[in-house]
Structure 1
Amino acid sequence: MRVGRVLGRKLGRRRVQGIRFRLGLAMALGLLPILLLGVIQTEAEFRKQEQERRLDLQLAAERSASDAKARISSTVVLLQALTPEGGGFFCEARLTALAARMEGIASLARYSATGAPVCASRSESEAQTKQNVSADTWHQRLKRGEDVVMQRSADGESLIVAVRWERPMGAFQGAMAATVPLSVLQPDIRDPALPAGSEAALTDGAGNILIATDPRPFALKRAAEANGWTDRARADAVVMFEARDAQGRRHVYGGAPLAGQDVFVLLSAPAPGLLSWARLNPFGTLLLPLAAWLTAFAAVMLLSERIVVRWLDYLERVAAIYARGRFSIRPVQAEHAPAEIRTLARTLGQLGETITRRDRDILDALEEKDALLREIHHRVKNNLQIISSLLSMQQRAVTDLGARAALGDTRQRITALAQIYRVLYQSEDIREADADTFLRELVGQLIAGEAVRGPLVTTSIEADPLIIDPDKLAPLALWLVEAVSNAQKHAFAGRGGELKVRFKVDGDTSVLEVEDDGPGLDDAVEAGVGRTLMMAFAKQLRGEARIIPAPGGGSIARLTFVTPEARDAAQVREVAAFRLSGTPPQA
């Protein structure tokens, strides 16, 4: 499972899922039939080479035992030539002379149909005259009709070669036999075609070793591994098999008939690893297609990187810049890319130009809209000031004190709203305003308006800068008007004093406080219209308003509300930065 997870993470990586890997994979799949064809051809070459190896092994084995084969063949020819002659008086002398002159023949002998010795060379005459061979296997085989028979002698040091002796009508008359010492049949392994460490041996028809250059490789650990190879060699001429010797070393064996059906040559060579040396493949037929396949795969990976992927990465970087709002970049380096990439780059550049032109048109429209909104705000401010002036005139004409106070409060509220529109059309962006600047100007205007009609009131303002939209600024301004008005009416009436305004922004929460040094809380303030309006404005800001005693005397009107933010302030600043950008840079 851990391997599966690791493999899944690797396959999920961008490098594995990219176009380069997919092109390489597609190419690899496309060339796979060629590789499979190479494998099939290699397999066919394996089979062909195996046949050639079998033939080479047979020829090498025959060459290794060529002397033994020549001696056996010459012996058979000699015996066939001597067979027609009868025993006669001079039989022993002739056989003795021939045995002396023929190198590699220890003795010659003639036997009757009943296995009795007729005559023999002197080296064996005494023993042969007393020995009947009718019970010997080789004599019985000749009697059954075989022409040539070879068999190991009873002492194990010679090979008996015998031919059939027939009458003119074909009836079995006896046998002509020669004894050949095994020492003269020793195979020669100096053939350069033989693998290093090869050994050769002659065996009888049952696979028993007659003579060998080194008997150890032919002493098999499991005789069953040979599996009757001599019987298969009689049918197939060449037999190959693998087996382990008594020391456990693995060898490759190749056997073939050497003389008739009774003598075989067996070749042994060390097995190279797990494969038989006769199955060593022609590496070129497999490695060359594999190397071509790997080379093509590497070439596709490299060329796709140089021709396609790096240009796609370049265009991706340009597109990422476009995604961040910088449409002045142009992919000019792609002019050296392939035609398809150049077309894509030109399309991307045209897209950037189109968006740039559209943004300019939009910005021009926004500027025109801003100018109109500034004009509207200016006119609204003027109209509100006219209304405030009319109320001021009406206030002076009214003699009732309550009515005059009500008109004064209304005039202050209208003045606060006019101040909002004045700040908006004078600000850099008409969609937002700085709370610090607005609060200072509004408080100053409210205090200055009452300064000519009453005692001196000093003010101190501490305000954190906060950019907010007009919808949130209006209830904030009206709440401040009510708080300052209450302080002027109840705290500073007839005495003056000090007014402190504090505006603090603490993350998601903001606090606006108006503190006076008057006599303290008044029940009329708690139940008045101003108090009701303050609570209503606080709800509009999703906050709460309270009037609490000040630590040093007087009272504090506190408004706690959720910190308002300018509508699309980040987008407004980004557009402004784009409008101030100079000559478009080139990517």
Structure 2
Amino acid sequence: MELVPKDAARVDPRRRMGIFPLSSGAPRDLLDSVRRRLLLVALLAIAPVASLSMVQGLMHLKGAEDEARQRLLQLAVSAASSQANIIASAESVLQAMKTVEAVRAAGSACQATLYGATLSLPFVSNMGVLDKDGTVACSAIAAPRSVAGEPWWDNLVRAPARPTLTERRMSPATRTEIIIVLEPLPAPDGSFDGAIALGLDATRLDTMLRQATVEAGGVAAIFDAAGRELISNSRTLSQELFSPAGLAGSGSRPVLREVADATGRKWTYTVAPLDRQGLVAAYALPTRELFGWTPLAVAASFALPGLVAVVCLVGLWFAVDRMVLQWLNYLRRVTSVYARGHYRFRPTRLERAPSEFRALGAAVENMAHAVRLRDAKLRENLAEKTALVREIHHRIKNSLQVVVSLLSLYGLGIGQGEDRRRFEELRTRVNTLAVVHRILHEASEGSAVKLRELLRELAALLEGVPDRSLSVRIDAPDVQLPVDMAAPFALMAVEIVLGLAVPDGPKLPVTIGCSQSDGRLVVTITAGPMANTVARPGRFDLDQGFASQLGGQLTRAETGDNVRVTGDFPLRPGRAPTA
């Protein structure tokens, strides 16, 4: 079906939705949008670069950790090398003293020998010989006569096969902190026969360690196998930073540990084995100084892809809106204007649009121009058709009037009686058709007739019938009656009214009422009193014949002196009456 523009704007939206479902509704899913699909494509394009940047950041972090670990290990071993050498030298001195018979036997020359050795070794504070009961047999500087019951002495008695280091302790002889190195003395039968003890000056060792770590600025400490601190360049900080659990990580690949001191400053440390007496060296540096800009670089490796993605998506969002969506919306408004029949509208704003949208706008404008030409042609054809139809109705009306005139001339010779009555009814029927075609000729729209106007003309015609005395009242809405229903409706109404009126009888009041609802037309013709209650044979059948042409039927009911004829007819599909 072809529609002219004024009808196209009134097309049922459900019919339009059948062509392009959901074209003007909400998105069907999350990605049912040009902007969202482009954003998804951009994210997918950025994802590999972002992933590569994050992997690079992780590799940078791992490399920084390995570098920091190696640096701390080197600093720890370098700082503790002097102390390790001193401990090794102390063990060598004890090995040498163990071979001196005067010292071993704790003879008269023992004290002088030990004192001379003590003076030659600046890091040694005292030396002595202990028998198997822990009694001091000989010493360079006077010392307590017995050490029995000391934990370190009990450990040596239980395991006399190797040299032993004691924890840091206060020397009662020199009144300084010392670390005792013990060398067991075996008896001829191999049993434990005492030991030679050497006291290392712990304060001097601390000073040496502090001097070795001045440039690095870190915290260094040496611990024995039991985790006890022996030497430190900052005893207060080392006790805060180095925990027994952290000292256990001195395996083949020491781990980095991060701790905070009492002020909240973060330190990173690791431990390195010294391969002597189970000693380990721990070294700590401030985390910020150790890693420098590494955390910022790693954070940038993770944040930069996200920032790039956000900037890209925001830019793409506005770019799509400015370069695509605004022109699509403008074209949609243009098509809406054309749909309302304003074909002279020119989309001048498209002159600033990209070439693709200018081409699309030109195509839409050409389509509107073609529709305009077609619309003009259809209007011309419709006007020509309407003029032809009105001319046909005019000629039919004239022909029927000629027929009526001829019938009137021939009827002059017919006398009163049944023949005269039938002749008048025939002339009334022809006049009815002439009235219908006159109304169709005068109608502004050739496809419908005004029901109230038609009934008024029929009322005037019926009141002028010579052998009937009628008073017709019209009670009908001003609705449009399809043209193909006008002739049978008018003939049916005339037949019903003529059948109710008694020839040459008193004046009969007749009311013709119509109502319309749900696409149906209900006609009610009431006559009385003194209506003809006896239907003549054949007349009601003729009325039913016209009703059948209208697609309905008639019912006749009598109430006292009144007669009511009711008809219910469907209006033609697509021809809904309008007030």
TM bracket, shorter-chain basis: 0.7 to 0.9
Would you say the 8 A contact 2:533–2:563 is kept in 1? no
Q: Return closer, same or farther for 1:154/1:554 CA change in 2, 3 Å cut-off.
A: closer
Q: Does 1:96 align with 2:83?
A: no
Q: Deviations over 1:196-222 (max 9, x none)?
A: xxx8653224555546646577666xx
Q: CA deviation at 1:365?
A: 1.3
User: Residue 521 of structure 2 corresponds to which residue in structure 1?
Assistant: 510
CA distance in 2, matches of 1:241, 1:443: 113
User: Residue 73 of structure 1 corresponds to which residue in structure 2?
Assistant: 85
Q: CA deviation at 1:286?
A: 1.4
**What TM-score results when the alignment is normalised by the length of structure 1?**
0.71
Q: Does 1:533 align with 2:533?
A: no
Q: CA deviation at 1:456?
A: 5.7
User: Residue 39 of structure 2 corresponds to which residue in structure 1?
Assistant: 24
Q: Which of 90, 99, 105 is residue 124 of structure 2 equivalent to?
A: 105
Would you say the 8 A contact 1:117–1:132 is kept in 2? no
Q: Which of 50, 58, 65 is residue 73 of structure 2 equivalent to?
A: 58
User: Residue 438 of structure 2 corresponds to which residue in structure 1?
Assistant: 422
Q: CA deviation at 1:499?
A: 3.1
User: Residue 141 of structure 2 corresponds to which residue in structure 1?
Assistant: 122
Between 1:396-405 and 1:339-348, the stretch displaced more is 396-405
Opposite residue 537 of structure 2, the aligned amino acid is G
Would you say the 8 A contact 1:116–1:133 is kept in 2? no
Q: Does 1:202 align with 2:213?
A: no
Q: CA deviation at 1:421?
A: 2.0
Q: Does 1:290 align with 2:289?
A: no
SS of 2:484's equivalent in the other structure is: helix
Opposite residue 493 of structure 2, the aligned amino acid is L
Q: Which of 544, 552, 561 is residue 543 of structure 1 equivalent to?
A: 552
Q: CA deviation at 1:35?
A: 1.0
User: Residue 449 of structure 2 corresponds to which residue in structure 1?
Assistant: 433
Q: CA deviation at 1:408?
A: 2.8
CA distance in 1, matches of 2:320, 2:421: 84
Opposite residue 140 of structure 2, the aligned amino acid is S
Opposite residue 159 of structure 1, the aligned amino acid is I
Q: Does 1:371 align with 2:387?
A: yes
CA distance in 1, matches of 2:304, 2:507: 105
User: Residue 493 of structure 1 corresponds to which residue in structure 2?
Assistant: 504
SS of 1:375's equivalent in the other structure is: helix
User: Residue 563 of structure 2 corresponds to which residue in structure 1?
Assistant: 555
Q: Return closer, same or farther for 1:464/1:188 CA change in 2, 3 Å cut-off.
A: farther
Q: Which of 43, 53, 57 is residue 58 of structure 2 equivalent to?
A: 43
Q: Return closer, same or farther for 1:99/1:388 CA change in 2, 3 Å cut-off.
A: farther
SS of 1:20's equivalent in the other structure is: helix
Q: Which of 428, 443, 446 is residue 462 of structure 2 equivalent to?
A: 446
Would you say the 8 A contact 2:167–2:230 is kept in 1? no
Q: CA deviation at 1:407?
A: 3.4
Q: CA deviation at 1:493?
A: 2.5
**What TM-score results when the alignment is normalised by the length of structure 2?**
0.72
User: What's the RMSD between the two structures over aligned residues?
Assistant: 4.8
Q: Does 1:467 align with 2:480?
A: yes
Between 1:398-407 and 1:528-537, the stretch displaced more is 398-407
Would you say the 8 A contact 1:138–1:151 is kept in 2? no
Would you say the 8 A contact 2:526–2:565 is kept in 1? yes
SS of 1:229's equivalent in the other structure is: coil
Q: CA deviation at 1:464?
A: 0.2
CA distance in 1, matches of 2:316, 2:493: 73
CA distance in 1, matches of 2:216, 2:387: 104
Unpaired segments of 5 or more residues in structure 1?
Answer: 1-10, 142-148, 165-174, 245-249, 273-277, 574-587
CA distance in 2, matches of 1:279, 1:443: 103
Instruction: Among all aligned residue pairs of Structure 1 and Structure 2, give the percentage whose two residues are the same amino acid.
Output: 24
CA distance in 2, matches of 1:16, 1:153: 72
CA distance in 2, matches of 1:163, 1:344: 101
Opposite residue 473 of structure 1, the aligned amino acid is A
Q: Which of 359, 366, 371 is residue 355 of structure 1 equivalent to?
A: 371
Q: Deviations over 1:342-383 (max 9, x none)?
A: 221221122112111111111111111111111122112222
Q: Return closer, same or farther for 1:486/1:132 CA change in 2, 3 Å cut-off.
A: closer
Between 1:422-431 and 1:54-63, the stretch displaced more is 54-63
SS of 1:542's equivalent in the other structure is: coil
Q: Deviations over 1:282-305 (max 9, x none)?
A: 201111122112221222122112
SS of 2:403's equivalent in the other structure is: helix
Unpaired segments of 5 or more residues in structure 2?
Answer: 1-25, 103-107, 171-176, 185-194, 261-265, 289-293
SS of 2:124's equivalent in the other structure is: coil
CA distance in 2, matches of 1:188, 1:423: 124
